Structure 1
Amino acid sequence: MALFASFAIAPAAMAKENVPAKPATDLAPNARSAILMDADSGTVVFEKNSHTALPPASITKIMTMLLVMEAIDQGRLKMTDKVRTSEYAASMGGSQIFLEPGEEMTVEEMLKGVALASGNDASVALAEKLAGSETEFVRMMNDRAKELGMTETTFVNCNGLPAAGHVSSAHDIAIMSRELLKYEQITKFTGLYQDYLRKDSDKPFWLVNTNKLVRFYHGADGLKTGFTSEAKFCLSATARRDNLRLIAVVMGEPNTKTRNAEVSHLFDYAFAQYTNVQIYKKGDPIGTLKIEKGKVAQLPLTAKRSYSVLLKKGDAGKGLRHELVLNPSVKAPVKSGEPIGKLVVYRGEQVLKEFPVEAPMSVDRAGWWTLFKRATGQLFFAK
């Protein structure tokens, strides 16, 4: 049962979140950096040099796919929209789907080309479709990275081809991977092992996923590989079993075999040790926000995503409680996405996890007549 209180809460609620004890051994000994994260709660299970800025190679395309999925979600783009290939997009080297200048594919087909074949040309074509130019799209990428708190990341292009100053970290990659996974449809692309483009033409193009774990590791359904001579072999991978979805990122691995083996080892460790306990599922009502002097006096709050905590197996669910802690005074105007409080999960008096809660929609300030009617109505009912 959710409890409702102001921000003036007991000191225990302000304590440091409880996180699982890190394993004593290095689970990715050959990686330059690595991280293992619970996708639902964001809890870090293992990390190694996770804040070191390194070239991410084609893992960059996770941010490209994120901006495309956000544009689709916001109605600025449709999966069925046609994307025309420019001379510049067709000129990309490295991994590609061999787009010809002037060739058109749908957004869905281009996404498959990015997700499975790591198409540098398809990435640029999508960037130009969405932002008009790759330069403008890269600006959007960096702006979104800042919004997500990716402090060790600077993007120079949309596909990860070698470029001075183009860097990210395992921690930042896990953050953007977690954000991309909020769009459940993306794993329909990243989880495919093979497909075709230009199926009905005389030159069908066979796509085979560069991430072999989607075929050989139970539960794996994404996300993105990367390789350049400078970055070495990189991977941001995700796998789900039962109620637990994991994100594992490794950077600077010596070869694909070691990369896949160490990611599998990270997954094996977490699936054996942990489980997720759900507090709310996406869409569940979690409370009501009162807004002073707003056109709307109060807003119902629902879970924007699944809220859960990561616990050791055999220890799950014992003594858990949760509390919705809202700002004591929320005054109009309120912007959609504005922080308005947090959901705190306890075991006894110990804080296990805190989730930020944002305003679900914008609310303008009410006019004087609305406020007058509201006040007089309250006085009437008070009698």
Structure 2
Amino acid sequence: MFFSVRRVSVVLTVALLAQLGLSLVTQPKAAVAAEQVDLKLNVKSAILMDAASGQILFEDRADTPLPPASMAKMMTEYLTMEAVKSGKFSWDEMVTTSQNAADVIGSGGLLALNEQVSMKDMFAAMSIYSANDASVALAEKIAGSEEEFAKMMNAKAKEFGLSEQAHFINATGLSRADMGKYAPKELQGETLLTARDAAIIAYNILKDHKEVLEYTSIPSKKFREKDKTPMINWNWMLAGNKDNINFKKYAYEGLDGLKTGSTDDAGYCFTGTAERNGMRLISVVMGTPKEPTRFEETRKVLDYGFSNFESKPILTAKQEIDSLKTVNIKKGVATQVPVVTQTGVNFVVKKGATPDQFTITAQPVEESKLVAPIKSGDVLGTVKVTYQGTEKVANLIANEDVEKGSWFRLFFRAIKNFFVDMVTGAKKE
């Protein structure tokens, strides 16, 4: 029987679709809503986030815009570390204190007009002691003026995908009234963040500049060696305070950051982060009525997280995926190559989570990339794991080399495949 090129094309198309069908797993089920709990918090808003993925584990009015006070300095920290990491500035570079920096009210009071201090020491003062003067000095060093720096903060907020209400007017978190004659002329309004916004900023700091913890974990440090007294970290919950007679009742195992804040308008706020058993969490509480309350409420939030969730490995590196053990390749000595995961995939899950709550799908890369030669480690596909609406993706890589086939081998393979297709087609008629 005569088979046209069109018929052969149809046969090949059907075979390709069948192969793709075998490579894909059923689409994930609808996300299961997270359990609602009442932690009886004395806060205006709160949130708990997994620091590795950004997965939300708990929230209480987390999208309410509120003044964050000095928690706004997390964005100042991020932009400062970014400026140094990019090579625009160095930690040893000197920063000169302007009149604005010397005059700023609130925490700090460390710098005199025209005093010169290294960027590293300024950063330490901001991160440990929440120093407003050091924050302003760093902002002016990086952007030329504090208002221009605030514009950079707002640009980064958009880049992070913060809420539409997120807004910065300065590097410190002070209100416009507290800034006095140094209040911005172009930027209007007040600094506002939601608890979710604060958590997202913390998430990005820990993802891109985890070295911040080298500063935020320090309970106390002298600003200058000649100083009689050290700067005391406003974060009473630091694990390093476990032997401090004043703060040991608040010290929390594994807690090493991140930023406190308080003003009359904001009340007492705190973005904390702690790590236990390989799981790092980010907590935010805003608008608590008293200084100790922010730490007491943070303990409730973190305790809930560590008591009820765990980091669970769903996939390990070099693991074979049942739905896509091999990938078809063209022009190779072999026609298929085994694939395995490039990295593992972990989820923070409710303790006792069962395998049926995770959906795993896998698919190869586009066909044009599946051509020999193939080297072990080449990315040939992806695997996606879905849990309660959260997705994580890992690469699938070749587990062995496949050399390019000779023209002789490929020629006879094409002839063989042609006749196999003809016989297969004849049997179907």
Q: Same fold (TM over 0.5)?
A: yes
Following superposition of structure 1 onto structure 2, how do residues 241-320 of structure 1 map, counting pairs within 5 Å?
241-278=276-313, 308-315=346-353
Post-superposition Cα deviations, 1:77-113, rounded to whole Å, max 9, x if no partner, equal: 3222222222221111111142112212222211111
Q: By percentage of residues, which structure has more helix?
A: 2
Distance in 2, matches of 1:9 and 1:110, equals 54
Aligned length: 326
TM-score after normalising by structure 1: 0.75
Bigger RCO (CA 8 Å, 6+ sep): 1
Distance in 2, matches of 1:72 and 1:18, equals 42
Is this contact kept in 1: 2:27–2:361, CA < 8 A?
Answer: no
Following superposition of structure 1 onto structure 2, how do residues 124-139 of structure 1 map, counting pairs within 5 Å?
124-139=136-151
Q: CA deviation at 1:191?
A: 1.0
Q: Which of 137, 155, 166 is residue 168 of structure 2 equivalent to?
A: 155
Post-superposition Cα deviations, 1:320-347, rounded to whole Å, max 9, x if no partner, equal: 675566885999xxxxxxxxx986214x
Is this contact kept in 1: 2:136–2:172, CA < 8 A?
Answer: yes
Is this contact kept in 2: 1:211–1:222, CA < 8 A?
Answer: yes
The aligned residue for residue 321 of structure 2 is none
The aligned residue for residue 171 of structure 1 is 196
Q: CA deviation at 1:166?
A: 1.5
Structure 1 pair 315/378, CA: closer, same or farther in 2 (3 Å)?
A: same
Q: CA deviation at 1:168?
A: 0.6
Following superposition of structure 1 onto structure 2, how do residues 1-383 of structure 1 map, counting pairs within 5 Å?
12-13=27-28, 16-18=30-32, 20-23=34-37, 25=38, 27-151=39-163, 152-163=165-176, 164-182=189-207, 183-199=209-225, 201=226, 203=227, 206-214=230-238, 215=241, 216-278=251-313, 308-315=346-353, 322=360, 344-346=384-386, 353-355=390-392
Distance in 2, matches of 1:170 and 1:342, equals 33
What's the RMSD between the two structures over aligned residues? 3.5
Distance in 1, matches of 2:169 and 2:382, equals 35
Name the SS of the counterpart of 1:213 in structure 2.
coil
Is this contact kept in 2: 1:34–1:47, CA < 8 A?
Answer: yes
Q: CA deviation at 1:353?
A: 2.6
Post-superposition Cα deviations, 1:19-67, rounded to whole Å, max 9, x if no partner, equal: 64232x2x25210111111111212121111101111110000011011
Is this contact kept in 2: 1:343–1:354, CA < 8 A?
Answer: no
Distance in 2, matches of 1:37 and 1:302, equals 26
Gapped regions of structure 1 (runs ≥ 5) = 283-300, 332-340, 359-376
Gapped regions of structure 2 (runs ≥ 5) = 1-19, 177-188, 242-250, 318-340, 370-380, 396-404, 412-429
Structure 1 pair 175/253, CA: closer, same or farther in 2 (3 Å)?
A: same
Name the SS of the counterpart of 2:287 in structure 1.
strand
Distance in 2, matches of 1:76 and 1:325, equals 42
Between structure 1 and structure 2, the one with the greater Rg is 2
Distance in 1, matches of 2:259 and 2:368, equals 41
Distance in 2, matches of 1:229 and 1:213, equals 22
Distance in 1, matches of 2:48 and 2:352, equals 21
Distance in 2, matches of 1:255 and 1:326, equals 55
Name the SS of the counterpart of 1:265 in structure 2.
helix
The aligned residue for residue 423 of structure 2 is none
Distance in 1, matches of 2:151 and 2:45, equals 26
Q: CA deviation at 1:69?
A: 1.7
Structure 1 pair 315/205, CA: closer, same or farther in 2 (3 Å)?
A: same
Is this contact kept in 2: 1:274–1:312, CA < 8 A?
Answer: yes
Task: Give 2:143's aligned amino acid.
Answer: A
Structure 1 pair 238/381, CA: closer, same or farther in 2 (3 Å)?
A: farther
Structure 1 pair 325/157, CA: closer, same or farther in 2 (3 Å)?
A: farther
Is this contact kept in 2: 1:322–1:343, CA < 8 A?
Answer: yes
Task: Give 2:212's aligned amino acid.
Answer: I
Q: By percentage of residues, which structure has more strand?
A: 1
TM-score after normalising by structure 2: 0.67
Once structures 1 and 2 are overlaid, which stretch shifts more, 185-194 or 100-109? 100-109
Name the SS of the counterpart of 1:34 in structure 2.
strand
Distance in 2, matches of 1:78 and 1:279, equals 41
